[in-house]
A and B are shown apart, each in its own frame.
Chain A
Amino acid sequence: MGFVDRSQENLLSKMATGNGHGENSPYFDGWKAYENDPFHASENPRGVIHMGLAENQLCFDLIQDWIKKNPKASICTPDGVDAFRDIAIFQDYHGLPEFRNAVAKFMAKVRGNRVRFDPDRIVMSGGATGAHETMAFCLANPGEAFLVPTPYYPGFDRDLRWRTGVQLLPVVCESSNNFKVTRKALEAAYERAQEANIRVKGLLITNPSNPLGTILDRETLRSIVSFINEKNIHLVCDEIYAATVFSEPGFVSISEIMEEEITCNRDLIHIVYSLSKDMGFPGFRVGIIYSYNDAVVNCSRKMSSFGLVSSQTQHLIASMLSDDEFVDRFIAESAKRLGIRHEVFTQGLDQVGIGYLKSNAGLFLWMDLHHLLKEKTFEAEMKLWRVIINEVKLNVSPGSSFHCSEPGWFRVCFANMDDSTMELALTRIITFARQSEELRIQRKRQCWASNRPRLSFSKRRMDDIMTTQSLLSPHSPIPQSPLVRART
């Protein structure tokens, strides 16, 4: 909703009539393009493939199978209906004890049982969305700020700022060192805040990172902990992608650092979690706050009244995550399938020399298309992005929507579709890359030709080379993409 008439502005709050919800960001524009022309394998094969949604759809078969074998987990089945009334009536904001126990156990397993979580510190929220807002309400007053390393998930702009009045200040990370979160960058961001007279209350990190798909190494985590301790500010660690780590190096959770770092003020450390990515259940709205600070546990628990997890869902999750054998199998298999997806995707990109950040986690890839930009500007990035949506028919997310400091990066999700759709998407990218390369070469040629008239290439010969290469490549996923124009 763009336009709000004057009379509404006087009638309603600024919050209701303003743009603080952040939905006018290009992150969501692509979604709209998808909604107008959504891909469907049989009904709309030329539609836009959604690669802007970080969802994990790879392991539903495992879950469906578990549900079939465990009818008691649903309070609606003949086996489970005995529990119906107790569950339906249960609105205690502490949450079902079995739910908290199961979540604590699951979180430990995801971290290879290297740490234990206390079920009494587990607080529910309306998804990680609700958790982040609650943390901002608990830790900061309006006008105060959180530092966030860029690039970061666009939803944070709404979740942390909209209704809370809290600010987000970027910690600028750069491709030159693979977007590492350096002490220098943290200090610089803090310094900028001081100069602007903005009180910093905390640092928010996402580990594994969205959109980078990388994990923070132990050294970086320790450096971050030392930084926040020194400044006496909070550290909120969003570990929502913890179980999506599919290859080395292994995931190191802040909870593990807490086991080793005895000089850290534990009252500053808080974890946000959810089952939306690791299990693939965004619809069930299972958000978790885990804090080492008693007062924060108490306050966030009271605030959880505004977004409790449905007791019906708590009951299902408690059942599912208590099944040790199933959980162990699920975690391993999910990581494996993500790893395979990642490999197929990156190999495809390798074929055409599209760069990407080397990653070992997440449901997406951080793709480097800066060589396709006409100029190194965000305007050029937007232009390229519109071409990708409208012509290549892929909804990828432009780096600027993640507040990336350098133009040309795009987040591409690969786990929210089946194998054949993914291969089709890859083919479209490859084709586009080749066409762009052709265009670039043509332009160069034209430039050459005007300078050196004796040299000439046959355009056709170039085409042959390109086409032949793709046919010969053993890694070519699909021989014929519907988008490849006939050349003969």
Chain B
Amino acid sequence: MKMLSRKASCDSHGQDSSYFLGWQEYEKNPYHEVQNPNGIIQMGLAENQLSFDLLESWLASNSDVLGLKRNGRSVFRELALFQDYHGFPAFKNELVEFMAKLRGYKVAFDPNKLVLMAGSTSANEILMFCLAEPGEAFLLPTPYYPGFDRDLKWRTGVEIVPIHCSSSNDFRITASALEEAYQRAQKLNLIVKGVLVTNPSNPLGSTMNRDELNHLIDFAIKKEVHIISDEIYSGTVFDSPSFISITEAVMEKHVDHETDLLDRIHIVYSLSKDLGLPGFRVGMIYSNNETVVAAATKMSSFGLVSSQTQFLLSNMLSDKKFTSKYIKENQRRLKKRKDMLVSGLRSAGIGCAKSNAGLFCWVDMRYLLRSDTFEAEKELWKRIIFEVGLNISPGSSCHCSEPGWFRVCFANMSQETLKVAIRRIEAFAESSSTASGKENLSHQRSVRSSRRSLSKWVFPISSYDDHEPADR
């Protein structure tokens, strides 16, 4: 008899995917400015390390929170005992306010419709448990965050059917792609329960435009399916066009009378990316559907947010001046970093998808492939890890339908480290183009034509060498 469950013995946890293998190589040989300057630079981790100083200085000037006090009285005991899965009311009030602020107050949220749980990892899994039976499916536009394979499918038994998006239209979701995915699911005998989108997108780093959102909404109405909008990067939108949340899009379409649809819209959020606090495990689901809220609340028992953390953050978020300042400054720094990376890539002859959000760029290295195949992509990726010393994420790990795309993170390192990374990329690109002389002539021609088409992808930006006071 098999001693462990099927779930334990299979590899649906997804950790054998290349997404994680790169991390393993990084862990064996991690870059350090002083101690290991030839090590591998981690560019596969979508973390926001740019604005800790702002959080630290807030902490330094708010001593009550420090000693777990409220009005001078210790609240330790209250916190230690607080395990109510409805969550800290003050914390939820601040969160909905924060979420509204990130959406320019174009929408308002009700704290009673917010459910807290340990990270968006948990939130996405809980939604699957609530919305689908094992064997049913959700459609996801590609490329998508590799972690979804584990979060949505592993313990739930739910299937993912990809909606193929293509570089020919900036990987935008089209009505036909949605329909095509739906048909494919039907042919596989899979009942489609909904669509999950990440907006702003990981790994594209762009916000969904109105057309896409409308296609999505139309589709959900027609097929009577759910929409899950993972808006975990909503606070990282640093450039126009501005962020349109699913809530706003639905309001604008005036489908309020379609009360059925409102029952099928669910938002996932977290403080891991916007505030850079992944360690604190603060995730949440926002839903208009009472039954979903009730069920998700009960399921959150399996991963509640530590009361200690709820207390700290409810205090921090209640400081409205601070949050406004933080949001603005954080976005400014992200934009600067992104510009730096894009500019560096451009000078190496490498383009990337136009982006206005996120902690990464979606980089086009198709012209560096030996052939237009995923094997060639994997080869290139290994060269980048071992020869260039960068851990970046290959598009295939994100289920991209076209080989040659890579996600490169820019917010999880110091500015200096990013410069080192860029220099390495430049050196690599140069050696790649001079390495095989004659053979590369046609290659170089295609490089030049790629550069011409770069303008389609890349915003005109200033050089990354401007000398502003040190930011991280």
* Interface residues in chain A, defined as those with a beta carbon under 8 Å from any beta carbon in chain B: 1, 4, 8, 11-17, 21, 23, 55, 57, 60, 63-64, 67-68, 71, 74, 76-78, 81, 84-85, 87-91, 126-127, 129-130, 133, 137-141, 144, 158-159, 163, 199, 201, 232, 234, 267-268, 276, 280-285, 295-296, 299, 302-303, 305-313, 316
Could you tell me which residues of chain B, from 67 to 88, have a CB within 8 Å of some CB in chain A? 67-68, 74, 76-77, 79-83
Judging by beta carbons under 8 Å apart, are B292 and A16 in contact? yes
Is B251's beta carbon under 8 Å from chain A?
A: no
Known: A280-B80, A312-B280. A306 touches B125 (CB 8 A): yes
Residues 5-21 of chain B, each 1 if its beta carbon lies under 8 Å from chain A, else 0 = 11111000101000000
**Contact, CB under 8 Å: B82 / A283:** yes
- Contact residue among B52, B83, B122, B131 (Cβ-Cβ distance under 8 Å from A13): B131
Residue of A nearest to B308 (CB): A313
Contact of B312 among A55, A63, A312 (CB under 8 A): A312
Given contacts A296-B8, A312-B306, 6 further A-B contacts (CB under 8 A): A67-B68, A76-B312, A285-B118, A285-B305, A295-B4, A299-B4
Give A339 Cβ to nearest chain B Cβ, in Å.
22
A13 to B49, CA, bound (A): 38
Answer whether residue B366 sits at the interface, using C-beta atoms and an 8 A cutoff. no
* Chain B nearest CB, measured from A294 CB (Å): 11
Q: CB-nearest residue of chain B relative to A138?
A: B8
Shortest distance from the beta carbon of A420 to any chain B beta carbon, whole Å: 17
Residue among B47, B83, B298 making CB contact with A285, cutoff 8 Å: B83
- Whether B60 lies near A285 (C-beta < 8 A) is no
> Binary interface profile of B, 346-373, with partner A (CB < 8 Å = 1, else 0)?
0000000000000000000000000000
Q: Which of B13, B49, B301 has most A Cβ within 10 Å?
A: B301
For window 1-40 of B, CB contacts with A under 8 Å fall at: 1, 3-9, 13, 15
Nearest-CB distance from A31 to chain B (Å)?
11
In the complex, chain B residues whose CB is within 8 Å of the CB of A67: 67-68, 76
Q: Is the CB of B279 within 8 A of A91?
A: yes
Chain A neighbourhood of B272, CB < 8 A? 91
The distance from the CB of A21 to the nearest CB of chain B, in whole angstroms, is 4
Which B residues are CB-close (under 8 A) to A91? 119, 272, 278-279, 281
Chain A residue with Cβ nearest B51: A85
Contact residue among A201, A305, A311 (Cβ-Cβ distance under 8 Å from B121): A305
- Whether A78 contacts B60 by the Cβ 8 Å rule is yes
The reply to whether B301 and A129 form a contact with Cβ atoms under 8 Å apart is yes
A307 to chain B minimum Cβ distance, whole angstroms, is 3
- Check B299 for interface membership: any CB of A closer than 8 A: yes
- Which B residues touch A90, using CB under 8 A? 278-279
Cβ of B294 under 8 Å from chain A: yes
Which of B66, B77, B150, B279 counts the most A-chain CB atoms under 10 A from its CB?
B279
Query: Closest approach, in angstroms, between the C-beta of B159 and any C-beta of chain A?
Result: 14
- A14 proximity list for chain B (CB < 8 A): 133
A243–B52 Cα distance when bound, in Å, is 39
The reply to whether the CB of B435 lies closer than 8 angstroms to some CB of chain A is: no
Asked whether B276 is an interface residue with its Cβ less than 8 Å from the other chain, the reply is yes
- Taking a contact as CB atoms under 8 Å apart, the answer to whether B291 and A284 are in contact is no
Chain B nearest CB, measured from A144 CB (Å): 8
Contacting pair A310 B299 (CB below 8 A): no
Q: Is the CB of A313 within 8 A of B118?
A: no
- The yes or no answer to B59 lying at the interface (CB within 8 A) is yes
- Whether B308 contacts A310 by the Cβ 8 Å rule is yes
Contact B55 A310 (CB under 8 A): no
**Shortest Cβ distance from A310 into B: residue:** B306
Q: Would you list 14 pairs from A and B whose C-beta atoms are within 8 A, ordered by A residue? A: A15-B129, A57-B81, A127-B304, A130-B301, A137-B7, A138-B4, A139-B3, A199-B1, A285-B306, A299-B4, A299-B8, A305-B150, A306-B121, A312-B312
Top 10 nearest A-B pairs (CB, nearest first) are A307-B303, A311-B279, A283-B307, A126-B303, A310-B306, A16-B295, A16-B130, A91-B278, A85-B52, A283-B82
A63 and B292 form a contact (CB under 8 A):
no
Q: Are B118 and A11 in contact (CB under 8 A)?
A: no
Name the one of B131, B263, B302, B309 contacting A126, with C-beta atoms under 8 angstroms. B302
- Interface of B, helix, strand, loop or mixed by DSSP: helix
**Contact in complex: A163, B76 (CB < 8 Å):** no
B contacts with A, residue count (CB < 8 A):
70
Give complex CA distance A133, B15 in Å.
Answer: 21
Minimal beta-carbon separation of A90 from chain B (angstroms): 4
- The yes or no answer to B132 lying at the interface (CB within 8 A) is yes
- A267 with B3, Cβ < 8 A, contacts A64-B74, A127-B304 known: yes
Cβ A89 vs Cβ B302 within 8 A: no
B-side contacts of A299, CB under 8 Å:
4, 7-8, 13
Q: Is the CB of A141 within 8 A of B56?
A: no
The reply to whether A88 and B309 form a contact with Cβ atoms under 8 Å apart is: no
B66: chain A residues within 8 A (beta carbon):
71, 74, 76-78
CB pair B5 A12 closer than 8 Å: no
Q: Is the CB of B305 within 8 A of A310?
A: yes
A60, B150: Cβ atoms closer than 8 Å = no
Instruction: Pick the residue among B5, B281, B309 that contacts A140 (CB under 8 A).
Output: B5
Q: How far is the CA of A309 from the CA of B122 in the complex (A)?
A: 13
A302 to B16, CA, bound (A): 12
* A74-B67, A85-B52, A312-B279 known; A64 vs B302 contact (CB < 8 Å): no
In the complex, chain A residues whose CB is within 8 Å of the CB of B65: 76
B277: Cβ under 8 A from any A Cβ: yes
Distance (whole angstroms) from the CB of B455 to the closest CB of chain A: 36
A232 to chain B, nearest CB (A): 7
Cβ contact within 8 Å between B291 and A88:
no
Q: Which of A1, A129, A199 contacts B294 (CB 8 A)?
A: A1
Shortest C-beta distance, B442 to chain A (Å), equals 45
- Given the known interface contacts A88-B277, A281-B80, A284-B308, the answer about A138 and B118 at a Cβ–Cβ threshold of 8 Å is no
**Set A21, A64, A129, A141: member contacting B77, Cβ < 8 A:** A64
**Across the interface, do A141 and B6 meet the contact criterion of CB distance under 8 Å?**
yes
Q: Find the residue from A133, A141, A284 having the highest chain B CB count within 10 A.
A: A284
Using known A-B contacts A1-B291, A16-B129, A126-B118, determine if residue A306 contacts B303 with beta carbons closer than 8 Å: yes
In the assembled complex, the Cα of A41 lies from the Cα of B284 at a distance in Å of 36
Contact between A81 and B304, CB atoms less than 8 A apart: no
Given contacts A1-B291, A312-B280, contact A283 B121 (CB under 8 A): no
Q: Which residues of A contact B81 (CB under 8 A)?
A: 55, 57, 280, 282-283
Chain B residues near A199 (CB-CB < 8 A) = 1
CB neighbours (8 Å) of B299 from chain A are 21, 163
CB neighbours (8 Å) of B291 from chain A are: 1, 4, 8, 12, 16-17
Q: Tell me how far the C-beta of A50 lies from the nearest C-beta in chain B, rounded to whole angstroms.
A: 12
* B155: interface (CB < 8 Å): yes
B125: chain A residues within 8 A (beta carbon): 306
Task: Please tell me if the beta carbons of A139 and B5 are within 8 angstroms of each other in the complex.
Answer: yes
Q: How far is the CA of A296 from the CA of B4 in the complex (A)?
A: 8
* Nearest CB of A to B352, in Å: 25
* Shortest distance from the beta carbon of A225 to any chain B beta carbon, whole Å: 16
Judged by a CB distance under 8 angstroms, whether B264 is at the interface is yes
CA distance A126 to B126 in the complex (A): 14
Contacts A89-B279, A163-B299, A305-B121 hold; do A74 and B68 have CB atoms under 8 A apart? yes
